[in-house]
Amino acid sequence: MTKKDDVFNEVIKKPSDFKFGATVANAFDDMVERSVPYYNEIQRMIIEQVCEFAVPDTNVYDLGCSTGTTFLNLDPLVDERIRFVGVDDSKDMLQKCTQKLKEAKLKRPYELKNADLHQDFVIENASAVVLCLTLQFVRPIYREKLLRRIYEGLNPGGVLVISEKILAEDSLFNRNFIKYYYDYKRRNQYSELEISQKREALENVLIPYKLSENIKMLMEAGFGHTEVFFKWYNFSGFIAIKN
């Protein structure tokens, strides 16, 4: 059972950086649905596009797989010879993910790896890689390297599907978009205290880039075709193909 997200509901006396520990893992599914505009639709669009590119006898990676939502949504729709590989550095998230995938009785081969995206880990024989709200947590100096590693691990014709919080290209719009985003959170029953404490906790941890900076990074990593498939103020989805 997912707990209601009340992680930032009480006054936090000693503020610290946001962590994907047990408290967040237990409330994560509620948190992501109430904090990310159109999260379910973004998931649906990611899945729809992965289905187009996933090929039997290859791997589909979900980097920063959290509680396994992407794989649970994808499982009924793709060939059982496609292997799922989930990667996350949070043991608490992977525990939830393991439990949910077990309950769903997946018939395909799958593996959940407790690994840090800042370190080297193997990406191989991939027809699709998903980074749903995860690249924003990778420290900026490691992002290009990670995208190059994904590019190298993808088979020709393979796809990388990304969803990210972003900065607007223009700082005036950026201020407005953030204001509209906090209004969205208020509409989803987050209090002023919850909004401000979470903002502080995420400040040094979630570092958004502009959409143009993300696309440039993908091109520099070697990707040929890129396209934006989703945008809502400071949230976006974009896709890249390895030629």
Ligand X SMILES: C[S@@+](CC[C@H](N)C(=O)[O-])C[C@H]1O[C@@H](n2cnc3c(N)ncnc32)[C@H](O)[C@@H]1O
- Single residue of 34, 54, 84, 88 touching ligand X by CB under 6 A: 88
Q: Kindly state whether residue 17 participates in binding ligand X, applying the rule CB under 6 A.
A: no
Closest by CA position to 66, among listed 40, 95, 37:
95
User: Does the footprint of ligand X cover residue 93 (CB under 6 A)?
Assistant: yes
- Would the CA dihedral through 92, 94, 98, 103 be positive or negative? positive
User: Please, which residues have CB within 8 angstroms of residue 126's CB and are 6 or more apart in sequence?
Assistant: 58, 59, 60, 61, 150, 153, 154, 155, 158
Long-range contacts of 186-189 (CB under 8 A, 24+ apart): 188/34, 188/35, 189/34
Tell me the closest approach of the beta carbon of residue 156 to ligand X, in angstroms: 25
* DSSP summary character for residue 128: E
Is 129 a binding residue for ligand X by CB under 6 A? The answer is no
- Closer CB to ligand X, 139 or 179, in the complex: 139
The piece of 47-55, 58-66, 147-155, 218-226 that touches ligand X (CB under 6 A) is 58-66
- Residue 88 or residue 194: which is nearer to ligand X going by CB? 88
Distances (CA, A) of 16 to 12, 118, 143, 196, 204: 9, 21, 24, 13, 10
Per CB under 6 A, 117 contacts ligand X: yes
Binding to ligand X by CB under 6 A, coded x per residue (else -) over 137-176, reads xx--------------------------------------
Q: Angle, to 10 degrees, between the axis of helix 171-187 and the axis of helix 192-202? A: 130
Taking CB under 6 A as the rule, does residue 66 contact ligand X? Answer: yes
Looking from the CA of 99 toward its CB, the CA atoms found within 13 Å total: 12
Query: Is 49 near ligand X (CB under 6 A)?
Result: no
**Contacting ligand X (CB under 6 A), which of 132, 160, 218, 221?**
132
> Total number of residues binding ligand X (CB under 6 A)?
19
How far is Cα of residue 201 from the mean position of the Cα atoms in its chain?
18
Q: Which stretch binds ligand X (CB under 6 A): 9-17, 110-118, 174-182, 210-218?
A: 110-118
- Angle between the N-to-C axes of helices 91-103 and 22-35, in degrees from 0 to 180, rounded to the nearest 10: 70
Is the Cβ of residue 20 or residue 233 nearer to ligand X in the bound state? 20
The span of 133-141, 153-161, 175-183, 216-224 binding ligand X (CB under 6 A) equals: 133-141
> Which residues of this protein are in contact with ligand X, per CB under 6 A?
20, 32, 64-66, 69-70, 88-90, 93, 116-118, 132-134, 137-138
